[in-house]
A and B are shown apart, each in its own frame.
Chain A
């Protein structure tokens, strides 16, 4: 019993030391977090690479003219339940670096429009950011995401 107590005491001491150092060193990050600066996610977007948004109406026009490729950033199971007609699925949690997107056969000349669950979902921003980092110049994020598309009665299908 005495040795278990000793282990608990030692472990608590180490956790306290690590917590104090961790909080002290990262105090600036904590301030930013408290101010909701990471509401868009933990990956900091470089200012010049901040993905631009596109409205549902503009996106619809481009869809009708077949001038854009829609990319679904949601997990595969969500994509299978329903997605924008013709969209491809790249779940954002499957990407660890922009390198993963370099050789996946996406045309470089086409406008890419990413989308996710809507609301304050971030995965479409991450995906757009990664695509830009991977060298794709024309990337936009669909404002309102999948719910906006679906609620407007625009073409969709399921796999």
Chain B
């Protein structure tokens, strides 16, 4: 597919893709740690945490690669937006409950859930929406 020749758009696309590739790899190396991190949020059951931990990191990695290479860009930007929306919900629920848990964001360099993290996720979510909307506009033109 043709990638729009807009520097801002390309910059966001590559940046977002790189973040998700990195995030995916750090979780792929230790799926059980990630499963425990998900479980610590106390939102989903042990079984769901396990399956999410097996599949989500690969989803992040593939979406990141596709976003950078421009393959299935609408689908990957849509999925990234959905993932970020869910992450925001998880983080917000922990902040509202006033708990202090490990966010599980980047595997071994993970840190505690905080308002800064919520802001980071929100910015990434906005960036993913820009990519999604731009790619949909491209589709309309084409």
Contact = CB atoms under 8 A, between A and B. Distances in A.
A44 B62 contact: no
Contact of B59 (A7, A10, A18, A75): A18
Residues of A contacting B: mostly: helix
Given A6-B139, A13-B75, A93 B62 contact: no
Interface stretch (B7-15, B27-35, B85-93): B27-35
B110 interface: yes
B36 A42 contact: yes
B74 A94 contact: no
Contact of A14 (B33, B59, B111, B112): B59
B106 interface: no
A154 interface: no
B121 to A, nearest CB: 18
B63 interface: yes
Contacts of A75: 99
Interface string A116-144: 00000000000000000000000000000
Contacts, number: 92
Interface stretch (A23-31, A46-54, A55-63): A23-31
Interface residues of B, number: 39
Report, as a range, how many residues of chain A touch the other chain: 20 to 34
Contacts of A14: 59, 62-63, 66, 72, 75-76, 79
Contacts of A18: 55-56, 58-59, 61-62
B15 to A, nearest CB: 20
B78 interface: yes
B84 interface: no
Interface of A: 3, 6-7, 9-15, 17-19, 21-23, 25-26, 29-30, 33, 38, 41-44, 75, 91, 93-97
